[in-house]
């Protein structure tokens, strides 16, 4: 037996755990090898020192501390949201109320489109089907009006312009929509939003409340762009009730001179009962300049 093999078995030899067949071989090697005997003596001293060390008794606080730690772990585990709750929190973080509303609106339009296509392709042209189609069309119009009302007060001028754009496919607007559009025309801080709103209201001018609101808006406008565009709308609509407020505007010494000339032409056209010649369906669009970005120089002047 060599030293390396003997040293590997010294610990078992010391603890009397060595197999009977191996023990005589190790003992014989120890009688011949001084180095291995010294190794055995060192092991004996270590084990003697270790056996003299008293075994510590567990503290009386061990059990309460363990259960306190276990209770804290359970509370922490219960406080963590479940996988579904975590997914829901993530969706809430990703989809803001505006994005969620826009997504719901888009999905609703897709659903309505699918339903309309189904009825047009699968059903004969009967009165009941026509009524169904009319109902679906009305639902789409109602959704557009809901979107308009939800975005018209948005801090972003771009979102407010988007809201106004929903009126392009509306033949009729409910009183709340008309009120919101007139309020935007009179009070929005962005002149481009006001011009877009004026265009939208002109398309709804068959509504008496819209016409009356446009006439009353003449006295509330300070932007030369909006004043000029509004005067053009009055001529295009041949709204003679606007002559008096237009004349009052002429008495304003701070009135822009270009706007003053435009108002004089408008009063003359209204008095003669002839609309001003136009090369466009939107004679007042020449004053509209798209908003480059929110908060840019498109604010009221």
- pLDDT tens, N- to C-terminus, the chain (301 residues): 788 887 788 778 877 787 888 888 888 888 888 888 888 888 788 777 777 776 666 666 667 767 777 777 777 766 655 556 666 665 665 555 656 666 666 666 666 666 666 656 655 545 655 666 666 666 666 677 777 777 788 888 888 888 888 777 777 778 888 888 899 999 999 999 999 999 989 988 888 999 999 999 999 999 999 999 999 999 999 999 999 999 999 999 999 999 999 999 999 999 886 655 443 334 334 344 444 444 443 444 4
Domain that holds residue 145: 97-151
Contact yes or no for 213/182 (Cβ under 8 A): yes
Quick one: 171 and 147 in the same domain? no
CA distance 103 to 96: 10
Contact yes or no for 168/203 (Cβ under 8 A): yes
Quick one: 206 and 282 in the same domain? yes
Quick one: 216 and 270 in the same domain? yes
DSSP E strands in 108-175: the ranges are: none
Asked whether residue 297 is domain-assigned, the answer is no
CA distance 259 to 16: 115
Report the candidate in 141, 148, 139 with the shortest Cα–Cα distance to residue 183.
Answer: 148
Quick one: 141 and 181 in the same domain? no
- Burial call 154-172: b when 16+ CB within 10 Å, e when fewer: eeebebbbbbbbbbeebee
How many structural domains compose the chain? 3
Report the candidate in 50, 51, 32, 41 with the shortest Cα–Cα distance to residue 13.
Answer: 41
Q: How far is CA 177 from CA 17, 83, 143, 251, in A?
A: 95, 42, 12, 33
Quick one: 181 and 254 in the same domain? yes
Quick one: 141 and 171 in the same domain? no
Quick one: 174 and 286 in the same domain? yes
Quick one: 182 and 257 in the same domain? yes
Contact yes or no for 184/150 (Cβ under 8 A): no
What's the angle, vertex CA 177, arms to CA 190 and CA 159, rounded to 5?
40
Quick one: 147 and 173 in the same domain? no
Paired with 190 in beta bridges are 299
């Amino acid at each position: 037996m060599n030293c390396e093999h003997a040293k590997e078995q010294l610990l078992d030899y010391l603890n009397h755990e060595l197999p009977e067949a191996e023990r005589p071989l190790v003992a014989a090697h120890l009688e011949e090898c001084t180095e291995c005997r010294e190794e055995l003596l060192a092991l004996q001293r270590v084990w003697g020192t270790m056996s003299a060390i008293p075994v510590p008794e567990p503290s009386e606080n061990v059990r309460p501390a363990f259960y306190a730690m276990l209770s804290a772990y359970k509370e922490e585990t219960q406080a963590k949201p479940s996988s579904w709750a975590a997914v829901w929190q993530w969706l809430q973080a990703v989809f803001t109320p505006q994005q969620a509303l826009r997504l719901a609106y888009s999905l609703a339009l897709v659903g309505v489109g699918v339903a309309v296509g189904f009825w047009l392709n699968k059903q004969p042209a009967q009165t009941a089907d026509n009524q169904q189609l009319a109902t679906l069309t009305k639902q789409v119009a109602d959704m557009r009006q809901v979107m308009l009302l939800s975005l018209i007060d948005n801090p972003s001028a771009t979102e407010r312009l988007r809201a106004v754009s929903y009126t392009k496919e509306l033949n009729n607007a409910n009183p709340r929509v008309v009120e919101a559009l007139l309020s935007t025309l009179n009070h929005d801080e962005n002149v481009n939003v006001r011009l877009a709103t004026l265009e939208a209201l002109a398309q709804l001018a068959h509504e008496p409340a819209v016409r009356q609101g446009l006439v009353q808006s003449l006295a509330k406008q300070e932007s030369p762009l909006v004043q000029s565009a509004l005067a053009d709308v009055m001529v295009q609509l041949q709204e003679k009730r606007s002559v008096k407020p237009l004349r009052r505007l002429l008495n304003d010494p701070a009135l822009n001179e270009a706007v003053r000339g435009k108002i004089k032409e408008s009063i003359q056209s209204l008095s003669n009962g002839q609309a001003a010649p136009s090369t466009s369906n939107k004679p007042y669009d020449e004053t509209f300049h798209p908003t480059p970005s929110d908060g840019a120089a498109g604010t009221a002047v």
